[in-house]
Structure 1
């Protein structure tokens, strides 16, 4: 299933990129199954709509033939991009973005489960709001509780408190973190226009906007590439939080993933603040 390009989609289509590096097979299979269910629901509303999945293998891709066969049976073209090594999260997605020939492109993490109606609701929103270039959904955790992954511009203190302090100490900064996480505006009902930063676990773009931005900045290996892309997206289109679109997220923070991730987090934070401006407190 290795390929260099997808079957050409017309301007009405959807492309999806998922970048993996030594992924958990069960979690990835769950993501792909939920994507299949969402595509099946979308095809009921829009028969014949072209959908292409780019599975970008940065290394250690397990055997997912059963998942890809199931997607193919639902009319989803599946393309594995491999052989490039571990080039990082953003550059991996860029391999798919540069090939995309669709109206919409979904940047998707391999730890996300889509609600069956997620793509239907997203398409409806884009078509009702022509100025929307980037959509972020309601995101829940494994217990169904809302995760607040929209962000105001961070200070270094916000990142340190949220990412590295134990829960008991973190509670002392609850009001500060609530503001950073936009809890005064983000809920499960209200559309919020132009949140400054949205999560890279699910970023649905008009492909024309994403190509105008030239995708992710390849200088970030991991972490902050979504912060960077979010801020740049505001220069060319509107960004929206649309809670009618729903997904579940099974991911975790850098501090819980070990010292290598902490080092990558720090390196990317330095690049981010050097580009957009330092804010300490």
Structure 2
């Protein structure tokens, strides 16, 4: 586990105390993995409170899924692993990823929160992740969103930051056979900002993954959260680009997570159709790039 670096006076620590809200949107979630996610979140909040960087946290769980699996989870002793404020939202139907997070923001609209963490139910964060993130955001008021260093469960690197996509690049990443994509390895590496997003802080990111986005609440409110034009896929791309018009998006490698997510764009015809539709919506909004 990494540790929070730097020494600060008691006065500066006191001034940095702030309120964090977190939203997690689920759909037929793996409850065992979700429990691990919330446990790691709870440890990170506790650590940040000990460092004087956080005063209070509130978690909003949005259940988009069928059945009552999350209800059982909520009644099954969640308070033992999450001793802070907790709210739950159950939409009348599956409203999608972005709209689900917007519903969470609406649920806490009257709360005075300084930061909001958009978090996937399959992310495990290091104990110091929130502390390092909050410390960076406190020192850089021009930053509206922060994205972390991510690994796959096997320890290999996962690249969350992206350049502006083209149709051809998306085809190579999501659908092309490996032998066909192999000659374009450099193009794909450049798209994922490999070699750029390594061990140094960078505040010129344009597109960040929605699996972990620590946002300044004011920045989110200014742009109205996620666009309701997306059901699934590309809503984080759109959010990033709208945020980056007036705020900086920073990659901070001292903020470390493990993300269990997969290449969901390849899972069945329905997912592929949704991916293509969302891609068309994104390019219609932000400009087409074919190659």
In the TM superposition, what is the alpha-carbon distance from 1:253 to its structure 2 partner? 1.3
Aligned to 2:45: 39
Q: Decide whether the 8 Å contact of 2:53 with 2:135 is kept in 1.
A: no
Aligned to 2:24: 18
Bigger shift: residues 51-60 or 163-172: 163-172
Q: Decide whether the 8 Å contact of 1:12 with 1:50 is kept in 2.
A: yes
In the TM superposition, what is the alpha-carbon distance from 1:72 to its structure 2 partner? 3.8
With normalisation by structure 2, the TM-score equals: 0.88
2:194 to 183, 186, 190: 183
Q: Decide whether the 8 Å contact of 1:133 with 1:206 is kept in 2.
A: yes
With normalisation by structure 1, the TM-score equals: 0.91
1:92 aligns with 2:96: no
Aligned to 1:64: 73
Rounded to whole Å, the distance in 1 between the matches of 2:100 and 2:250 is: 25
1:271 aligns with 2:281: yes
Q: Decide whether the 8 Å contact of 2:45 with 2:54 is kept in 1.
A: no
Aligned to 2:169: 158
* Structure 2 unpaired stretches of 5+: 1-16
Q: Decide whether the 8 Å contact of 2:143 with 2:247 is kept in 1.
A: yes
In the TM superposition, what is the alpha-carbon distance from 1:30 to its structure 2 partner? 1.3
Instruction: Indicate the SS of the match to 1:194.
Output: strand
Q: Decide whether the 8 Å contact of 1:213 with 1:232 is kept in 2.
A: yes
Bigger shift: residues 132-141 or 82-91: 82-91
Q: Decide whether the 8 Å contact of 1:97 with 1:211 is kept in 2.
A: no
Q: Decide whether the 8 Å contact of 2:62 with 2:91 is kept in 1.
A: no
In the TM superposition, what is the alpha-carbon distance from 1:67 to its structure 2 partner? 5.8
Aligned in 2, Cα 1:47/1:181: closer, same or farther, shift over 3 Å? Answer: closer
Q: Decide whether the 8 Å contact of 2:147 with 2:160 is kept in 1.
A: no
In the TM superposition, what is the alpha-carbon distance from 1:25 to its structure 2 partner? 1.4
How many residues are aligned here?
Answer: 268
